Amino acid sequence: MIQAGIIGGAGYTAGELIRLLLVHSKVEINFVFSTSSAGKKLSAIHQDLVGSTAQVFTDTINPDVDILFLCLGHGNSKAFLEKTTFSSTTKIIDLSNDFRLTQDAVFQDKHFVYGLPELNKTAIQSAQYIANPGCFATAIQLAILPLAANGLVEDAIHVNAVTGATGAGTALSATTHFTWRVDNFSHYKAFNHQHLGEIHQSVDALQEGLKSAIHFIPNRGNFSRGIFATVYTKYNGTLEDAKSLFETYYKDAEFTIISENSIHLKQVVNTNKCLLQLEVHDGKLLITSVIDNLLKGASGQAVHNMNLMYGFEEHLGLQLKANYF
């Protein structure tokens, strides 16, 4: 059994990661590190784990684990690795944005590969260090990549996307307070969200010399989890052309599916799927993309990357059912 360690074990992404790894047939959780919760049962913080495990949080690190998941806040993974040394054979998957961009990908003697399987599957399979993509970045890239791969991004890309409250993490803030969030809706970081960097990086890598802007407005939804993104851009083909383009690009993708019908969040929440639906209107292609921000947008994708790194079946530990009703 592969021995896994988790750093930053008290957050939402760590909770989902623990849930997935507990039922993974090839992995054993060696430790879950949390300075704030050391000595407490995992289920005391992640209450959906009551009856599933008696394991406790620890403030002691095993530097010889086979794989390490960093579930730390943005900017904290680099600081953690600067002061903590692991075995030269330990694989690392970082869920923050510290190593996603090319200029940040080399740290100490580690080279982090951008971990979007639909883009970098071959590189992930041979990698030791992975920078897990952001949640918005995942949903948006999966809507754009087939166009960029075929040189068909001809004009600005417009994105409007809504995320659930868990996208903000467990730290309390004015905009995650129940009385503010319930029956409410707002946008934030319009046109300058931190995930735009990695989106541009991937799209530019596929369509060299691309000059088109990506106009992204993120929104806060009054629900717990999930991302619903609508993406549109200039397109001269037919709907049948677009469907063929996307189906060809994703023909070997384990979790990205083109839907013939309109899609909605409940189809993907609690799964590692990305559902895409296409429409053509007056010379514009509309791509709707839905994911679970904590799974396909974070912990599920991290497990998918681990499976690729070790040569496991891609769906191992990720055969999940949506909470449809």
Of 314, 301, 311, 310, the C-alpha closest to 114 is: 301
pLDDT at 172 over 70: no
Distances (CA, A) of 175 to 29, 115, 182, 297: 34, 30, 10, 21
Task: Count CB neighbours of 56 within 10 A.
Answer: 16
pLDDT at 85 over 80: yes
Same fold, 2-132+298-310 and 135-291: no
- Mind telling me the catalytic residues? 135
pLDDT tens digits, one per residue of 112-130: 999 999 999 999 999 999 9
Strand pairing partners for 253?
none
CATH placement of domain 135-291:
3.30.360.10
pLDDT tens digits, one per residue of 255-270: 999 999 999 999 999 9
Task: Count CB neighbours of 156 within 10 A.
Answer: 13
Residue spans per domain, the chain:
2-132+298-310, 135-291
Would the pTM of this model clear 0.85, i.e. be above it? yes
Rounded to an integer, what distance in angstroms lies between the CA atom of residue 61 and that of residue 31? 7
Distances (CA, A) of 51 to 38, 43, 47, 72, 285: 19, 8, 9, 26, 48
Q: List the single range of 31-40, 88-97, 248-257 with lowest mean pLDDT.
A: 31-40
**What pLDDT is stored for residue 224 in this prediction?**
82
Average pLDDT, the chain: 93
**What pLDDT is stored for residue 35 in this prediction?**
86
**Residue pointed to by tokens 């921000």:** 293
pLDDT tens digits, one per residue of 276-314: 999 999 999 999 999 999 999 999 999 999 999 999 999
How would you write the chain as a 3-class SS string?
CEEEEEECCCCHHHHHHHHHHHCCCCEEEEEEECCCCCCCEHHHHCHHHCCCCCCECECCCCCCCCEEEECCCCCHHHHHHHHCCCCCCCEEEECCCCCCCHHHCEECCEEEEECCHHHHHHHHHCCCEEECCCHHHHHHHHHHHHHHHCCCCCCCEEEEEEECHHHHCCCCCCCCCHHHHCCCCEECCCCCCCCHHHHHHHHHHHCCCCCCCEEEEEEECCCCCCEEEEEEEECCCCHHHHHHHHHHHCCCCCCEEECCCCCCHHHCCCCCCEEEEEEEECCEEEEEEEECCCCCCCHHHHHHHHHHHHCCCCCCCCCCCCCCC
Select 2-132+298-310's CATH number: 3.40.50.720, 3.40.190.10, 3.20.20.70, 2.60.40.1230: 3.40.50.720
pLDDT at 170 over 60: no
